[in-house]
Amino acid sequence: MDQRSIGFLDSGLGGISVLSEALRQLPDENYIYFGDTLNAPYGDKDPQEVFRLTHQAVDKLIAMDCKAIVIACNTATSCAAGQLRQELSLPIIGLEPALKPASLLPGEGKILVMATHNTLRLPKFQALMQLYGKDALPVPCPGLMECVERGQLEGEEVDHLLRSILSPFLNEPVKAVVLGCTHYPFLRRAIARFFPENVPLIDGNAGAIRQLKRRLTEENLLGNHPFGGSVTFLSSSEDEAAVRRMQSMLRG
């Protein structure tokens, strides 16, 4: 039993989609969520810089006595998770585009993998493509995380941007869509409109939290706060409005 907090980080609001799943699967834990709003977005930054920023965020969460870290960002995971696991002994859980489960689905058609430019071009995703990418088409989505950060989850502007991103990929049948950035589950409704109803939109959130639960169990680190856990939000811009946006995103 360990009552310390679990640390979450992302460039902004995206990781809250992962945090919601954690609250569902592990409701008796305390959480600290750090959004690096000052340095967002991570998707087009130099990977070395994303590594530095991720390391800085992890150090901050460790200084706050976190017992485990969830890098609730596909981009930061691609840039930093491997190296951080070599350096640190606490559990570090990352996110990756859910291409494996998508590739195991029955049916014909392409798998569209929506993610940031960095996630799609770095070796971690290239390795995933080698194993499960036979039918996959990488779809970089510039500008999409910014819609979520602005609170634009539906509407004309979002539709217009999604049309420009997705239309080159809509000429062939699509079997599944992978939401390979933790911001995109917040746009699920807007994205789903571009596909027939039976096309699943898959994210990696439930799998990542199952992995977190497994690691906490194995290492005897599970918490048990009797009246349910708490969530503390922090933002690198130290701006109260950013923290309020995080709170309202979690409430949904």
Binding mask 193-232 for ligand DGL (x = CB under 6 A): ----------------------------------------
- Nearest distance, CB of residue 39 and ligand DGL, angstroms: 9
Joined tokens for residue 185: 């589950």
Residue type, 113: V
Is 147 in the active site?
A: no
- Nearest distance, CB of residue 210 and ligand DGL, angstroms: 18
Among residues 145, 162, 165, 174, the one that binds ligand DGL under rule CB under 6 A: 145
Q: How far apart are CA 209 and CA 27, in angstroms?
A: 12
Is 66 in the active site?
A: no
Binding mask 70-89 for ligand DGL (x = CB under 6 A): ---xxx--------------
Among residues 6, 22, 40, 242, the one that binds ligand DGL under rule CB under 6 A: 40
**Binding of residue 181 to ligand DGL (CB under 6 A):** yes
Among residues 31, 34, 42, 186, the one that binds ligand DGL under rule CB under 6 A: 42
Q: Which residues are catalytic?
A: 73, 181
